[in-house]
């Protein structure tokens, strides 16, 4: 069940991405020819008003077929109609006329030559495979020469159509995160959830359920203030004041322990969580701020992909699906946050200036605007070859990482120090009280959160849902 919900969520992200391309293309009169969730061969398809809608069998994305993505070239005639011309060689003269018109960039003559060739092909005796191939080829050439062809449209229209896909994913990320703030996110409080055995907290007499209101007589209005007071002690005994059963109690002095791995002093307790919700306007503001910081963190992670540590953070669709499935188990809010994170990642990845990604098409359109003339077809082909090679490399790195993690019993997606951080926060604004970084790991069904909070050290948070509330900027 969890896996089905995870797959449905990822399919939804693909759907809204492609819907962005689709509806903006319709708005600027580039009538799409196909709208697919996942890649062909099609499992289900239907044709409505000349547009083919379908669900593919390869769950690696989706696509919207927009007419005339590239300027037709003379070589396209052989590519699209070669089989038919082999069976009807007497059409060679008309095919050559079409090639010459395309080579000379005489589009009106090319359309006339294509119409002549279409009529002649209609009279030719062709095998069924050649006929089907010719029909597809004629449609492709028609699209390339049509007035609504992508390559013939204004640059702003092309950029609008291409940006719409990642733009919708970005918008969804903000809306989804805002929704989690309205619903309520688990945030850390001043209350004690559990005590680490044989720690300073044990020696002080701290108990689960206590609310820490002061350290060394100084009031603590947030969890962050508690952590700050502990660090300021430099290992000297501290006196903690708590509220227990409605009574204010000053506990025995106790000495924080220095955790060498973290380079911090810890007292040895796990804070309790409370759900905190916000109003709609405040939620959108927080979501926008959070999205900005996560965007920076993802950008930094992308910059480290070609380093040893960076490569280990790459996940494929397998890892993303498994992480989403695990998030379902921790409740709707955590699942929605994971979907928002994946949607944001999808948007940023697609905006990389590499063909055939969306960012590559935007970059090429801007370059043509600067040059004030179209780029040659060969330039698109060379850039596409480089981009496809890089995308495939990332895919296989992610696939290899996921297989390795699954064998070790680890969750394929981890929020690592220096990239994306989990925030267990009283207030989820960047730098707000109660936020601290750490690392999420799922081992044999148990979620572990190793944290640098200055209080309890690297302790497991047993099956504790956490809030993906911010990124660590330091």
Alpha-helical (H) ranges within 124-216 are 128-145, 155-183, 200-204
pLDDT of residue 309: 56
CA dist list (Å): 168 to 21, 67, 138, 173, 235: 9, 22, 33, 9, 51
HEC states along 233-292? CCCCCECEEEEECCEEEECCCECCEEECCCCEEECCEEEEEEEECCCHHHHHHHHHHHHH
247 half-sphere exposure, CB direction, 13 A CA radius: 4
pLDDT of residue 306: 62
Residues 6 or more apart whose CB falls under 8 angstroms from that of 70 comprise 144, 151, 377, 380
Q: What are phi and psi of 37, to 5 degrees?
A: -95, 125
pLDDT of residue 401: 67
Q: Which residue bears the tokens 């689709």? A: 22
Query: pLDDT tens digits, the chain, 474 residues: what are they?
Result: 677 887 888 889 999 999 999 999 999 999 999 999 988 889 999 999 989 999 998 887 898 999 999 889 999 999 999 999 999 999 999 999 999 999 998 999 999 999 999 999 999 989 999 999 999 999 999 999 998 899 999 999 999 999 999 999 999 999 999 998 998 877 788 899 889 888 999 999 999 999 999 999 999 988 888 988 999 988 899 999 999 999 999 999 999 988 877 678 888 888 887 878 889 999 999 899 988 888 887 777 766 666 655 566 666 566 666 666 766 666 788 888 888 888 998 898 899 898 889 999 999 999 999 988 888 888 888 888 888 888 788 777 777 766 666 665 544 444 333 233 333 332 333 333 333 333 333 333 333 333 333 343 333 333 333 333 332 222
144 half-sphere exposure, CB direction, 13 A CA radius: 21
User: Within a domain: residue 371?
Assistant: no
pLDDT of residue 335: 83
User: Within a domain: residue 222?
Assistant: no
User: Within a domain: residue 87?
Assistant: yes
pLDDT of residue 304: 67
- Whether the model clears a pTM of 0.75, i.e. scores above it, the answer is no
One-character DSSP codes across 110-127:
HHHHHHHHHHHHHHS---
Max Cα distance, the chain (Å): 102
Task: Supply the range of the domain harboring residue 91.
Answer: 74-145
Number of folded domains that form the chain: 1
Residues 6 or more apart whose CB falls under 8 angstroms from that of 146 comprise 67, 68, 152
CA 242 to chain centroid? 43
Cα distance between residue 141 and residue 98, in whole Å: 10
Sign, Cα dihedral of 163, 168, 171, 172: negative
Cα distance between residue 275 and residue 260, in whole Å: 33
Q: Which residue bears the tokens 């119409």? A: 115
Calculate the CA dihedral of residues 337, 338, 342, 344 and round it to 10 degrees: 20
Cα distance between residue 253 and residue 216, in whole Å: 9
- Of the candidates 353, 398, 320, the residue with the CA atom closest to the CA atom of residue 166: 353
Cα distance between residue 297 and residue 118, in whole Å: 54
Whether the Cβ atoms of residue 343 and residue 351 lie closer than 8 Å to each other: no
- Cis amide leading into 356 (omega within 30): yes
Structure tokens of 105? Answer: 């960039």
Which residues is 453 bridged to in the sheet? none
Structure tokens of 323? Answer: 């992480």
Structure tokens of 67? Answer: 């007419």
Cα distance between residue 194 and residue 297, in whole Å: 32
Cα distance between residue 335 and residue 329, in whole Å: 8
């Amino acid at each position: 069940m969890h896996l089905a919900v995870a797959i449905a969520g990822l399919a939804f992200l693909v759907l809204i991405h492609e819907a962005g391309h689709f509806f903006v293309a319709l708005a600027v009169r580039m009538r799409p020819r196909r709208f697919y969730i996942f890649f062909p061969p099609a499992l289900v398809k239907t044709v409505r008003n000349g547009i083919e809608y379908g669900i593919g069998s390869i769950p690696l994305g989706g696509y919207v077929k927009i007419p005339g993505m590239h300027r037709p070239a003379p070589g396209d005639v052989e590519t699209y109609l070669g089989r038919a011309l082999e069976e009807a060689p007497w059409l060679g003269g008309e095919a050559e006329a079409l090639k010459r018109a395309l080579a000379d960039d005489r589009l009106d003559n090319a359309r006339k030559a294509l119409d002549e060739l279409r009529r002649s092909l209609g009279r030719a005796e062709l095998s069924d495979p050649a006929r089907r191939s010719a029909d597809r080829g004629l449609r492709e050439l028609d699209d390339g020469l049509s007035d609504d062809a992508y390559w013939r449209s204004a640059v702003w229209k092309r950029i609008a159509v291409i940006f719409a896909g990642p733009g919708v994913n970005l918008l969804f990320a903000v809306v989804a995160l805002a929704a989690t703030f309205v619903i309520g996110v688990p945030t850390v409080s001043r209350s004690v959830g559990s005590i680490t055995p044989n720690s300073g907290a044990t020696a002080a007499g701290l108990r689960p359920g206590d609310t820490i209101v002061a350290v060394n007589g100084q009031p603590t209005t947030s969890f962050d203030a508690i952590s700050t007071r502990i660090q300021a002690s430099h290992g000297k005994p501290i006196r903690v004041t708590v509220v227990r059963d409605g009574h204010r109690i000053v506990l025995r002095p106790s000495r924080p322990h220095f955790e060498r791995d973290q380079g911090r002093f810890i007292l040895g307790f796990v804070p309790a969580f409370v759900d905190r919700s916000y109003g709609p306007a405040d939620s959108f503001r927080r979501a926008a701020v959070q999205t900005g910081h996560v965007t920076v963190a993802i950008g930094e992670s992308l910059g480290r992909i070609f380093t040893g540590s960076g490569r280990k953070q790459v996940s494929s669709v397998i890892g993303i699906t498994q992480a989403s499935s695990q998030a379902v188990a921790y409740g709707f809010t955590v699942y929605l946050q994971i979907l928002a994170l994946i949607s944001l990642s999808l948007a940023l990845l697609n905006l990389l200036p590499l063909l055939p990604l969306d960012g590559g098409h935007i970059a090429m359109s801007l370059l043509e605007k600067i040059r004030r003339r179209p780029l040659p077809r060969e330039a698109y082909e060379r850039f596409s070859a480089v981009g496809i090679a890089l995308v495939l490399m990332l895919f296989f790195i992610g696939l290899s990482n996921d297989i390795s993690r699954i064998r070790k019993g680890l969750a394929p997606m981890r929020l690592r120090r220096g990239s994306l951080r989990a925030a267990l926060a009283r207030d989820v604004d960047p730098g707000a009280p109660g936020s601290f970084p750490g690392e999420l790991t799922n081992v044999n069904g148990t979620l572990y959160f190793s944290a640098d909070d200055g209080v309890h050290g690297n302790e497991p948070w047993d099956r504790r849902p956490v809030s993906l509330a911010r990124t660590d900027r330091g």
